[in-house]
Amino acid sequence: MLFLTDVDHVSFEKANETRQNNLQSATVSLQVVIGLCKRKETAALKIKAAAS
């Protein structure tokens, strides 16, 4: 029974580690998208100002 408990503990730790990695990847991806949107908005404002 102790062996099964240890295996479950290891599986649980790996699942937590995987979720943490996925969360970090999602956070970085979101930061990239936000950065691209800000650049696009800035470029659009510059073009609009130049056209005025």
Q: What are the tens digits of pLDDT across the range 1-26?
A: 455 555 566 787 888 899 999 999 99
Q: Give the burial string for 5-17 (b: 16+ CB within 10 Å, else e).
A: eeeeeeeeeeeee
Q: What is the pLDDT of residue 23?
A: 95
Place of tokens 């062996």: 3
Q: What is the pLDDT of residue 16?
A: 86
Reported as a single tens digit per residue, the pLDDT across 20-36 is 999 999 999 999 999 99
Token pair belonging to 20: 């943490």
Q: What is the pLDDT of residue 7?
A: 58
Alpha-carbon distances of 39 from 21, 45, 49, rounded to whole Å: 27, 10, 15
Q: How far apart are CA 45 and CA 49, in angstroms?
A: 6
